[in-house]
Structure 1
Amino acid sequence: MIYLNCIKHASNGSIAEVGGTDGVSGTQKHYTEEQAIAAIIAGALHFKVRDASGHEADVRVAHHGNHKFLETHRDGVKSDNLGRLPVCHHLPTPPPQPYRPVSVHRGHAVSKVWKGNR
């Protein structure tokens, strides 16, 4: 059981990633929407959203045409919906690319036209 506690949106407003606490180990875990959908469909993981009052809502896979997405089971309580979760600020960001200097060609002219010593 993963209790979701944050969400990260894609630029189009859909869910990009979710974060939550593993109910067994207590560790914070992060999943892309695709990973969460695949885990739910495979039956490998179960996700829930719990609000401050203790209300819980199951997270399920819904679809619109061929597009699959995550949603909470409608239970009439708005505070336990995915959209009410805060933004995940602790999600790992990709590491910066290492600095790689451009190789220098010593002894070669750089420009196309080189007049030299005339």
Structure 2
Amino acid sequence: MVSLINKQIKHTGALGIGTVTEQDDKYITVQFASRISKFAYPAAFEKFLVAVDPVDADAIKKELEEVKAAVEAAKAAEAIKRAAEEQAKLEALRAKTAVSGKKEGSAKAHVPVKKSSWTGYDISGFPR
């Protein structure tokens, strides 16, 4: 984590340049001329904040890339886990149908048939 205490930070909106007064793993507190604001760290540097010092800006950029890579890796791991669970369910269903002797997908849902609205008259209005 890049230490930003007492470093100058520029807000991309109307707040201007401020100084970081507090920092922890998840948040930074910046004192601007008009107010004190708390931001999510490092996510706020994607849209709202820019470090004035280029060295700090580069370090924050690298940290953001690492966070994004970790999030992508977690998503990929979750997708693999879901796929394995789906495969296990499918195999259990196949094993169950093999024991019962039914073909997969052979049980069809009952669909009620609508009664005809035939009135006994043709298009001309005369009885048939």
TM-score (norm 1): 0.27
Higher relative contact order (CA closer than 8 Å, sequence separation 6+):
1
Which of structures 1 and 2 has the bigger CA Rg?
Answer: 2
TM-score (norm 2): 0.26
